[in-house]
Amino acid sequence: MRSWLYTPANTPSRMINAGIYGSDGVVFDLEDSIAPDQKDEARFLLEEMLGVIKADLQRQGILCRLAVRINGLDTAWWQADLSACLHAGVQLVRVPKVESQADVHRISAYLDQLEAELMLPPGTTKIQALLETPLAVEHAFLIASASARIVAFSFGAEDYCAALGLRRKEASLALDYPRSRIASAAAAFGLEAYDSVWGFLDDQAGLIEDAKRSRSLGFCGKSVIHPNQINVINEVFSFSAQEVEEAKRIVEAAEGTTSGVLSAKGRMVDKPVVLWARRVLEGRTQ
């Protein structure tokens, strides 16, 4: 998964078309893009439309994973959001402002209850945890270990910068630490790590630079807020033709020897290098 397109869950025309733009996934948003007095309507639309959206994507042969960003645990809406999600058949929820193991346990306990009520297999619903604060970043390893439901981290750079009193566009160096820690925690527990959105729609060069930076620090993809950003993100988080050719040479060399260490075109090749090469050929990033 390289790209996740955010789409408000209260606009039917945008919801039905969200999967056609080429993103690997779509996140229907019940949180920031929905005003408080529109939360109920958005929840209702999600329940009514998700089945239609899935059927339409299947009819068109489009492979696009669907998720929903619910409201945070500090609001009055998160339980109703989760209930609507499970009734609609959602199997992946993005949970904002997760800061601790206790937050994960609270979400998981309510999912246990809902899955039992709906007679779904326990653990059906998976979680992408949004880490958006300095405390969340410091607790990344604990959060990753909190539940088998956790399958991915997503970084919230805007909130993180706000907590530090930084302007997002000027905070590239300051974001290296949280990005590295989140990506490391994700890798340690076999999770995916998705970087924050780039909110400056008139700065494509900045988007490219930001995406390359996050990939170099271990992220496998990035969220986007406009379809025009999708192709850039997909390209940045895909292996290049040169990387694929290098990977082929490494795997061929490794399969042709019983030695633990070998050389391929001047590069020392040992087990970690072969593992990287196999991941490239499997189509995985980082």
The domain ranges of the chain are 3-236, 241-281
Q: pLDDT digit string (tens) for 166-181? A: 999 887 889 999 999 9
Q: pLDDT digit string (tens) for 213-272? A: 999 999 999 999 999 999 999 999 997 777 777 778 778 777 766 566 666 565 667 777
CATH number 3.20.20.60 is the correct assignment for the domain at 3-236: yes
**Higher local confidence (pLDDT), 285 or 102:** 102
Average pLDDT over residues 9-26: 95
Residue 286 pLDDT > 60: no
Residue 133 pLDDT > 70: yes
Average pLDDT over residues 7-31: 95
- Give burial (CB, 10 Å; 0-12/13-18/19+) of 86: buried
Residue 29 pLDDT > 70: yes
Would residue 22 be called left, alpha or beta, if left means φ above 0 and alpha means ψ between -120 and 50 degrees? left
